[in-house]
Amino acid sequence: MTPLSSAASRMVWPPRIETALPVRARNLYAAPFRQPVIEKVLSQVAADQPVQDQPILPGFTLVLQGQRLSSGIAQVQIADATVTPAPGQVQDGEIRVPLPLGLLAGVHAVQVVQQQLMGTPPTPHRGVESNVAAFVLHPTVTATAAHVSSRNVGGVNVSTCDLTATLTPPIGNRQRVVLLLSEINAPADRAARAYGFRAPARDLAPNPSESSTIVVRATDVVPGDYLLRAQVDGAESPLAVDGSGLYVSPRVTIT
């Protein structure tokens, strides 16, 4: 008798046949392709109407205007966050959603994602997506100045001070921050003085984390009252105006 080979000795007889269970029901779906389109990204404060070219600030509501926005189960993707609009805030030409918490100042992408119910029982599945639009989230800033030293440069007394700035939203580890000072009520015979001071790189500090407060050394500034702005990754904080349209705040006094 010829001995069986090792491979043949491991064979199972009769051969094992594996098959899937029969399908009890089939779900077929037919839906017209209606891709949503974002045409404008506006914002509103509380119950105010959306405003064109209004700086978008933390706590505002984002208003997306376009076409075919209400088909399916609409969600809004803002940066890495997925926001579900509240009932009644989705229309075919407009969707309104609050800005998600934790969003840093700067440029962000926004997109409408429409889901479709499929399966038994029905569960949401990713459907069609809109174009990707962009908006800028602007920071807000206030600051105080602590005098450090004074000196005379070319017959002009100048000061060095530490500006302690509080920003909303907080600053990310690797975000670039510049504080801008613009002189208030400069005399008519010369241009207003203006200065810019870059904050130290925070990603080089040990164990950096998001922070609402930074300290920036402002050097050789002529004492006086200045309007204050902050640029965070290029997104600039807005200035408030009075009834006559003049910029009035936020401000800081250099002594």
pLDDT tens-digit readout, 46-102 = 777 888 889 999 999 999 999 999 877 899 999 999 999 998 899 999 999 999 999
Distance of CA 157 to the CA centre of its chain: 41
Q: Which DSSP state fits 56? A: B
Please choose, from the candidates 201, 204, 184, the residue with its C-alpha nearest in 3D space to the C-alpha of residue 249.
184
Place of tokens 């037919």: 30
User: Rg (Cα) of the chain, in Å, rounded?
Assistant: 30
Burial profile 37-58: b = 16 or more Cβ within 10 angstroms, e = fewer? ebeebbbbeeeeebeeebbbbb
3-state secondary structure of 186: coil
Specify the pLDDT at position 2.
53
Place of tokens 């009890």: 24
Q: Which residues of the chain carry a pLDDT beneath 50?
A: 28-29
Specify the pLDDT at position 140.
97
pTM, to two decimals = 0.81
Token readout for 102 is 């934790």
Q: Are 97 and 18 within 8 A, CB to CB?
A: no
